[in-house]
């Protein structure tokens, strides 16, 4: 039996049932519902062939070509679906809830599956994700110069019952020229939005959400503009940590990094550092003087941070004498409570 269901019901059922994405592999790679498994009705080349036929010859010839390609795969697709959904109950979607998911749903229904079909397809899912970024919710932004330990606080805030999203974790990038070091490859902006939207769905809109201060770009990933604009207008708490502590922290981290990666990161900000400073930073890397290299890099990053902070509407400053994340998370919560932010 085939049941056409809304995106809200679809995502609820996706917590227990397999989700089959009938789009082509290339579409799936760009962005997907996080729980979904790639289960393409056509390969990338086949999809292009059907699409070209549709544009050049019209609907009916394209459908016949699609059926010629789909027919020989039917038994294999059913066998694969049986492995993925032994209970013979699953969810299916394509791009717009049209012919591809319709054909897949028909086949699986014919084979005895209980099939739930997403109304509007992946396009409806993307629209639903964008709605999450436009919803009104109280935000609290953690800011501070590079090396202030902002990201380190997030799990400790969560342990204290606070709502937190690690934007850099979802983007797989720490936000600076050095941000890709030690991180997995970044998702596309589309898939980052999917991951972020799904995380926001699980939160309480009425309770404050803590986010680390970010530029609109986190590496190659772009922040959703409605959320970024909301962050700019939300209360921002600046962690003021002595530069000596920040230098020590970053130097310890980069001591374990391939010098070639550090040199590449410095060269990416060469125009901003200037020729002499760039040369000194690279020499410091070659001699293993990480503190000197970090000190030079922070000259640029601290200046850039001060410029961006000036755009904020409400800024509060919290001086810290340590980089102990558990202790600083407790101080941050106390500070926010005193200022009636939580």
Last residue of a domain, one of 95, 129, 163: 129
**What local confidence, expressed as pLDDT, does residue 181 receive?**
86
94 among known catalytic residues: yes
Residue ranges of the chain whose pLDDT lies below 70:
none
Report the distance separating Cα 191 and Cα 325, nearest Å.
30
User: 141 and 119 in one domain?
Assistant: no
For residue 119, the domain's CATH number is: 3.40.250.10
Range of the domain at 292: 135-338
* 3-state SS string for the chain: CEEEECHHHHHHHCCCCCEEECCCHHHHHHCCCCCCEECCCCCHHHHHHHHHHHHHHCHHHHHHHHHHHHHHHHHHHHHHHHHHCCCCEEEEECCCCCHHHHHHHHHHHHCCCEEEEECCHHHHHHHHHHHHHHCCCCEEEEEECCCCCHHHHHHHHHHCCCEEECHHHHHCCCCCCCCCCCCCCCCCHHHHHHHHHHHHHCCCCCCCEEEECCCCEECCEECCHHHHHHHHHCCEEEEECCHHHHHHHHHHHHCCCCHHHHHHHHHHCHHHHCHHHHHHHHHHHHCCCHHHHHHHHHHHHHHHHHHHHCCCCCEEEEECCCCCHHHHHHHHHHHHHHCCCC
pTM (2 decimals)?
0.92
**What local confidence, expressed as pLDDT, does residue 310 receive?**
87
Report the distance separating Cα 66 and Cα 127, nearest Å.
28
Q: Pull the structure tokens for residue 39.
A: 């289960």
Q: Pull the structure tokens for residue 172.
A: 């797989």
Q: Count Cβ atoms below 10 Å from residue 61 Cβ, excluding itself.
A: 13
- Overall number of domains in the chain: 2
Last residue of a domain, one of 129, 152, 171: 129
Identify whether the C-beta of residue 233 lies closer than 8 Å to the C-beta of residue 311. no
User: 39 and 157 in one domain?
Assistant: no
**What local confidence, expressed as pLDDT, does residue 272 receive?**
87
User: 226 and 121 in one domain?
Assistant: no
Last residue of a domain, one of 70, 105, 129: 129
Report the distance separating Cα 291 and Cα 94, nearest Å.
52
User: 40 and 25 in one domain?
Assistant: yes
User: 143 and 112 in one domain?
Assistant: no
**What local confidence, expressed as pLDDT, does residue 33 receive?**
98
Set 94, 103, 139, 265: catalytic member = 94
> Buried b / exposed e across 65-77, counting CB within 10 Å, b at 16+?
bbeebbeebeeeb
For residue 281, the domain's CATH number is: 3.40.50
Q: What does the chain come to in residues?
A: 342
Residue 177: C-alpha distances to residues 43, 180, 221 (Å): 37, 8, 13
């Amino acid at each position: 039996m085939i049941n056409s269901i809304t995106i809200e019901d679809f995502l609820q059922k996706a917590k227990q049932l397999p989700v089959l994405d009938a789009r082509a592999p290339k579409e799936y790679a760009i962005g997907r519902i996080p729980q979904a498994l790639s289960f393409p009705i056509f390969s990338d080349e086949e999809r292009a062939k059907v699409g070209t036929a549709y544009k050049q010859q019209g609907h009916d010839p394209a459908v016949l070509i699609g059926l010629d390609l789909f027919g020989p795969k039917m038994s294999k697709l059913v066998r694969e679906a049986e492995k993925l959904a032994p209970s013979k109950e699953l969810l299916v979607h394509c791009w717009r809830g049209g012919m591809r998911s319709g054909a897949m749903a028909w086949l699986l229904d014919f084979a005895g599956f209980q099939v739930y079909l997403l109304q509007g397809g992946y396009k409806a899912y993307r629209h639903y994700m964008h709605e999450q970024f436009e919803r009104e919710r109280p935000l609290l932004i953690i800011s501070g110069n590079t090396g202030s330990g902002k990201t380190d606080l997030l799990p400790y805030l969560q342990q204290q019952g606070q709502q937190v999203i690690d934007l850099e974790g979802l983007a797989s990038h720490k936000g600076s020229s050095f941000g890709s070091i030690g991180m997995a490859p970044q998702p596309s902006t589309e898939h980052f939005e999917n991951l972020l939207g799904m995380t926001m769905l699980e939160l309480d809109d009425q309770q404050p959400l803590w986010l680390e201060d970010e530029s609109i770009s986190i590496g190659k990933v772009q922040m959703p503009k409605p959320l970024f604009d909301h962050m700019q207008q939300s209360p921002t708490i600046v962690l003021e940590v002595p530069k000596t502590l920040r230098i020590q922290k970053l130097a310890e981290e980069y001591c374990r990094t391939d010098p070639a990666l550090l040199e590449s990161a410095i060269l990416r900000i060469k125009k901003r550092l200037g020729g002499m400073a760039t040369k000194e930073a690279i020499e410091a890397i070659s001699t293993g003087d990480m503190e000197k290299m970090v000190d030079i890099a922070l000259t640029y990053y601290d200046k850039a941070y001060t410029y961006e902070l000036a755009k904020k509407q409400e800024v509060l400053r919290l001086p810290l004498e340590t980089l102990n994340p558990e202790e600083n998370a407790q101080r941050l919560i106390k500070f926010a409570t005193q200022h009636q932010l939580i």
